[in-house]
């Protein structure tokens, strides 16, 4: 199945029609188009702001940015010189020119090692390998983190910052009921770090939402009238649900009312750090699958 690299952008085409576009900059998936079993017409599944920079000048506001090695502002002593969400989303990754064709899927693999600039802000050795696999109705992303040090442990966060194209007034995310979460919309540090328990069967984002759920079961339904996505995460024990609503006006690269058109559901390992021993390899991944039938959350 064809893979094309043009001006720093890879396009993978599935023989049944689905398409994915990935920038080498940030290994950012910026488009995923797929049909459903009922409607083969391709639809865009991800949101990218029409003000997003896609020229490698700043992280892309949309798609699937890769967060590594810190989530949010740095809190770990190894990360003090890093920007919010780390360097993976604004570094240029390498592609070896190959793709892996299987019967039903096509994959590409991108890698990131310490470049010339990363060691100026981050001194740990590492190798990241990002595998993106496109099937007819699914998109899978796997991140492999290798600690290439012979002596020191590597401690990191990672997360897939999925901007899912969805009407934010109607979308529901579940099942998150009874899981503990931290509400980053609280005004004080004490409020932000106070655990809450999710009472809702289906989580909506009608108001500004920035919630970090911990130790979930790694399976999420993102459902709205007429559509939806299932997300299955592996080895990513936490998930963020984010929509800025009107506070999005303060985000320079957010399109006008853009928050009406997405919900971020972001599987990650961000409560505590993955602690990888010298020479160790860690893998975390997710599969996004289109929902074919009109669906309601069964637990509502």
Which lies closer to ligand BG6 via its Cβ, residue 99 or residue 245?
245
Query: HSE on the CB side for 134, CA within 13 Å?
Result: 27
List b or e across 228-259, with b for residues whose CB sees 16 or more CB atoms inside 10 angstroms: bbbbbbebbbbbbbbbbbeebeeeeebbeebb
Give the active site residue among 21, 155, 255, 266: 266
Which lies closer to ligand BG6 via its Cβ, residue 47 or residue 137?
47
Is 266 catalytic? The answer is yes
* 89 is an annotated ligand-binding site residue: yes
Rounded least distance, CB 253 to ligand BG6, Å: 9
Q: Are 30 and 19 in contact (CB under 8 A)?
A: no
Is 44 catalytic? The answer is no
Longest CA–CA span in the chain (Å) reads 54
CA 37 to each of CA 16, 229, 294: distance values in angstroms, whole numbers, following the listed order: 11, 13, 12
Residue 120 per-residue DSSP state: H
Q: Which two tokens stand for residue 182?
A: 């931290």
* Cα–Cα dist 44/30, whole Å: 10
Which lies closer to ligand BG6 via its Cβ, residue 95 or residue 208?
208
Give the active site residue among 90, 161, 198, 255: 161
Place of tokens 């320079």: 252
Which lies closer to ligand BG6 via its Cβ, residue 130 or residue 242?
242
Rounded least distance, CB 185 to ligand BG6, Å: 9
Rounded least distance, CB 240 to ligand BG6, Å: 5
Residue 100 forms beta bridges with which residues?
Answer: 107
* 61 is an annotated ligand-binding site residue: yes
Please give the residue whose beta carbon sits closest to ligand BG6 in the complex.
242
Q: Catalog residues that contact ligand BG6 under the rule CB under 6 A.
A: 72, 84-85, 161, 184, 210, 240, 242, 266
Map residue 11 onto helix, strand or coil: strand
* 81 is an annotated ligand-binding site residue: no
Which lies closer to ligand BG6 via its Cβ, residue 85 or residue 140?
85
Residue 100 per-residue DSSP state: E
203: enclosing H helix or E strand: none
CA angle, 184 as apex, 179 and 188 as ends, to 5°? Answer: 120
Please state the φ and ψ torsions of residue 248, each to the nearest 5 degrees: -65, -15
Annotated binding-site positions for substrate = 61, 84, 89
| Active-site residue set | 161, 266
């Amino acid at each position: 199945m064809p893979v094309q690299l043009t001006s720093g952008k890879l396009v993978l085409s599935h023989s049944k029609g689905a398409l994915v576009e990935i920038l080498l900059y940030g290994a950012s998936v910026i488009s995923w188009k797929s049909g459903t079993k009922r409607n083969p017409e391709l639809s865009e599944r991800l949101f990218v702001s029409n003000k997003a920079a896609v020229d490698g000048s700043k992280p892309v506001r949309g798609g699937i940015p890769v967060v590594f090695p810190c989530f949010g502002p740095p809190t770990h002593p190894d990360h003090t010189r890093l920007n919010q969400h780390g360097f993976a989303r604004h570094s240029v990754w390498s592609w070896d020119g190959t793709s892996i064709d299987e019967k039903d899927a096509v994959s590409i693999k991108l890698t990131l090692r310490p470049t010339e600039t990363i060691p100026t802000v981050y001194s740990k050795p590492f190798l990241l390998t990002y595998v993106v696999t496109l099937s007819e109705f699914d998109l899978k992303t796997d991140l492999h983190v290798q600690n290439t040090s012979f002596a020191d442990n590597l401690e990191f966060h990672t997360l897939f910052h999925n901007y899912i194209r969805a009407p934010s007034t109607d979308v529901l995310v579940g099942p998150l009921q009874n899981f503990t979460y931290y509400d980053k919309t609280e005004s004080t540090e004490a409020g932000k770090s106070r655990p809450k328990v999710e009472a809702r069967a289906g989580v909506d984002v009608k108001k500004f939402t920035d919630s970090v759920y911990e130790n979930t079961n790694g399976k999420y339904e993102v459902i709205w009238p007429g559509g939806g996505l299932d997300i299955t995460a592996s080895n990513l024990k936490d998930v963020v649900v984010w929509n800025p609503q009107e506070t999005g006006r303060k985000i320079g690269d957010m399109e006008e009312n853009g928050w009406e058109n997405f919900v971020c559901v972001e599987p990650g390992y961000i409560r505590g750090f993955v602690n990888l021993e010298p020479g160790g390899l860690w893998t975390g991944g997710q599969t996004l699958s289109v929902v074919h039938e009109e669906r309601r959350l069964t637990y509502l």
